[in-house]
Structure 1
Amino acid sequence: MNRLGLAVMLTLSLFTSGCAGTNDYGAKLPYDAWRLGFFAPDYMEVWIETADAVDTNDRWFKRAMSGVSSISSPSNLKGNPRGWPQNPGDGKGKYVYGADLPRFIYVRWQSLAEPQTYYAYIEIPESARELMVKGERAYC
């Protein structure tokens, strides 16, 4: 299985606090934290050794996330093991408190389906950071 087929997807989602300004940790964001979430293809268990984040102020958040990623197992194990699930959700993850917007994220994970370790260095583009501070209406 190649690296791309087993790539752990990264999702950044927002946790809004309802008031803008500086949070208790010094970051100037309209919410208290942003979230790292990870998921893997059906039947492909993954252990995330570390997910480190560096924010726009060059602060390093080591092990912002670690542990087992989210996977989906179709009912009665009758799913197709190829590809990604139709609606994977936002994955298993943690909120990153005290960080400004992410500049890059480093992820190192182990495939539990094969004896292999992978890593990825993900640069977060400015356009994604702009979307992270743009207000949106949401149903809660």
Structure 2
Amino acid sequence: MSKFKLLWVCAVFGLMVGCAKGSHGLPYDGWRIGLFAPNYMEVWIETADAVDVRDRVFKRAMSGVAAVQTPKNLKGNPRGWPSYPGWGKGKYVYGAAVPRLIYVRWQSLVEPQTYEAYIVIPEAIQQAMIKPEKAFC
């Protein structure tokens, strides 16, 4: 998987978590941005900004080191993603409606390179985030 797609999967699929009915039309108080990287690919997240469907911008909704699963004794396969990557390091975004766009800028700690990506959240994901689910909290 290319490095440009590195955080795309993380941000898009790490969004839905919550239990209580909140404001802004969501069945919970906040949603989560979780970021992770493939094995041995450590990155520094400069910023992960979110724009909700009401065009409100949430700057630096997430920043810092992304989660990485490094196998024991460095004996893992460095190719690709781990089988169960988890939900990554992240933060909850409170007071926001459903996200429509996420901007991520990150630096590779392996090479002197900076990357950025704009992630448009599909309407199907937005609808799934609005649908209430029973969860143990």
- TM-score with structure 1 length normalisation? 0.88
- Secondary structure, aligned partner of 2:73: helix
Among candidates 5, 14, 25, match of residue 28 of structure 1? 25
TM-score (norm 2): 0.90
| Unaligned residue ranges in structure 1 (runs of 5+) | none
More strand by share: 1
Question: Identity of aligned pairs, percent?
Answer: 63
Matches within 5 A, 1:60-139: 60-139=57-136
C-alpha distance after superposition, 1:59-86 (max 9, x if no partner) = 0000000000000011111001110000
1:15 paired residue among 13, 18, 22: 18
Aligned pair count reads 133
Does the 8 Å CA contact 1:16/1:33 hold for their aligned counterparts?
A: no
Q: Which residue does 1:3 correspond to in 2?
A: 3
More helix, by proportion:
2
User: Which of the pair has the greater relative contact order for Cα pairs under 8 Å at 6+ separation?
Assistant: 2
Which structure is larger by alpha-carbon Rg, 1 or 2?
1
For the Cα contact (< 8 Å) 2:26–2:129, is it kept in 1? no
User: RMSD across aligned C-alpha pairs, in angstroms?
Assistant: 1.6
Give the letter for the 1:44 counterpart: M
Residue 132 of structure 1, CA deviation: 0.5
User: How far is 1:3 from its partner?
Assistant: 2.9
Could you tell me which of 21, 39, 42 is aligned with 1:45? 42
Name the aligned partner's letter for residue 94 of structure 2. Answer: Y
